[in-house]
Structures are given as structure tokens and as C-alpha cells.
Amino acid sequence: MLIRRPEDVPPITYKNGVQKRVVLGPQQGAPTFVLRTIDVPPGEASPWHKHDWEHEMFVLAGEGMAITEDGERPTKCGDAVLVPPNEMHSFKNTGTDTFRFICLVPTRGEDNP
Amino acid sequence: MLIRRPEDVPPITYKNGVQKRVVLGPQQGAPTFVLRTIDVPPGEASPWHKHDWEHEMFVLAGEGMAITEDGERPTKCGDAVLVPPNEMHSFKNTGTDTFRFICLVPTRGEDNP
């Protein structure tokens, strides 16, 4: 068994300040899917994109907007969110604090599993 | 996209009062893995068992003990926990409030996906 605090995992930081931490995945002994945390700074967003695998997410802190081709929906701490395969999506921080969520993907969906 | 609050999902309640909610999975359009929440009442525990798939977990509230054949380790809100395949495990609530965690499994690991 492995117990990790996300804050102890070195982040991958993107140009807009979004940070990803790959917390649990194949490198830790998990064969099927990968648990990452994503931190979105106020005013910033994750990329507008799609892929043929799902996201299963859980919002840990802050508030934001879940954006799809069907429109925008507010999401906040305590929400579970499913992005099904092949759906365009982006998550924007609309609050004043960090918008942090867990985001899981199948192993093939993570560049740094 | 689907946004759900776990508290809006009807629970499956076991004899010892442990409750499981299947929040995101194949019935919601996710093909690969299933996001459940588990609530363990004070003094109670999840079953001592093993299986050939992994658990990826994230503790949302409370505190407990992660028990394996190698011993016991305390775990609390904010911890990510990996139980690799084929490892005996149980999670016991050692606090005074509900011990709540997210627990993900591959689709074949959930009876009510």
C-alpha cells in the first residue's frame, strides 16, 4: 500500500500556471488508471480539447466553470464530474482561490504515468 | 458532461453501516473505471479482503487506519492511497466522525457499475 499527499508530488507546471501532479499510476504499481491533481490559478483554464477516453473528476477546492460544446456549468468543491470520451471540454477558475480537482484517466491518457 | 454530488446518489448500505455510492461509472457513460464514495462509521471497517485489481483512493473526511498484511498505517483527509492488485486490505475508522473516501476500481471490480 502506498499513501501519498499530493503536495509532496513534484508538479508539472504549464505556461498559464496550471499545475498537474501525477499522484498514483503505473509508476506506483497501478495498472489501469492514473490519479492526478490539477491546480488552476484564478482566471486561468485547462486546455479546450477532447480525446477518446473519459475523465472522472472530483473537485477538492475552489469553484469554476465546466465548459463543453453544450455550454457552461458552474462546478464547486464536492462535485464529481464525468467527461465522457470524445467530448470537447475545459475547466476555468472563476473564483479568487486555486481551483483544485482530482482528474483520473485510463493509463493511455497520461503522458507521465 | 455529468456533474453529480455524491450525497444525491442513493447509497448501498452494508450490515455494519458502511455505505457505498456508485457515483460515476458505465451507467453514466464511463467505460474504464468506476468512482465510488465509501462512508465508514466510527469504529467500523471495510471488509478484510483482496482482489486482482487496484484501488485508487482519496480521503475526503475523517481519519482511519489502512490495514494490510504488513501492518497498519494512519490515513486522513487529503491522503491519496493506492492498494495494488492482490494485496489484503481493510480501512477502519479510528475517529469520532464519518471516515469518507473516494475509491476507484476498474469496471470489472464493481458489482453495480
CATH code of residue B74? 2.60.120.10
Identify whether A89 is part of a domain.
no
Number of C-beta neighbours around residue B65 at 10 A: 17
Interchain contact, A3 vs B56, CB within 8 Å? no
Domain extent for A16: 12-39
Task: Pick out chain A residues at pLDDT < 70.
Answer: none
Interchain contact, A104 vs B35, CB within 8 Å? yes
Identify whether B36 is part of a domain.
yes
Identify whether A21 is part of a domain.
yes
Cell 464530474 maps to which residue?
A: A81
User: Which residue of chain A has the CA closest to B90?
Assistant: A1
**pLDDT of A113:** 82
Interchain contact, A56 vs B70, CB within 8 Å? no
Identify whether B4 is part of a domain.
no
pLDDT at B99 over 90: yes
- CA distance, residue A50 to nearest chain B CA (Å): 12
User: Which residue of chain A has the CA closest to B102?
Assistant: A58
**pLDDT of B113:** 82
CB < 8 Å from A in window 30-69 of B: 30-33, 35, 53-54, 56, 58, 66, 68
DSSP at A94: -
- Report the predicted TM-score, pTM, of the whole model to 2 decimal places: 0.96
Rounded to 5°, the CA angle B77-A25-B33 comes to 80
The tally of domains found in chain B comes to: 1
Say what the ipTM of the complex is. 0.95
A2, A68, A106 ranked by CB distance to B1: nearest: A68
Write the pLDDT tens digit of every residue in B35-90.
Answer: 999 999 999 999 999 999 999 999 999 999 999 999 999 999 999 999 999 999 99
**pLDDT of B1:** 96
The CA distance from B18 to B76, in Å, is: 17
Identify whether B104 is part of a domain.
yes
Identify whether A53 is part of a domain.
no
Identify whether A34 is part of a domain.
yes
CB B4 within 8 A of CB B23: yes
Rounded to 5°, the CA angle A102-B61-A93 comes to 35
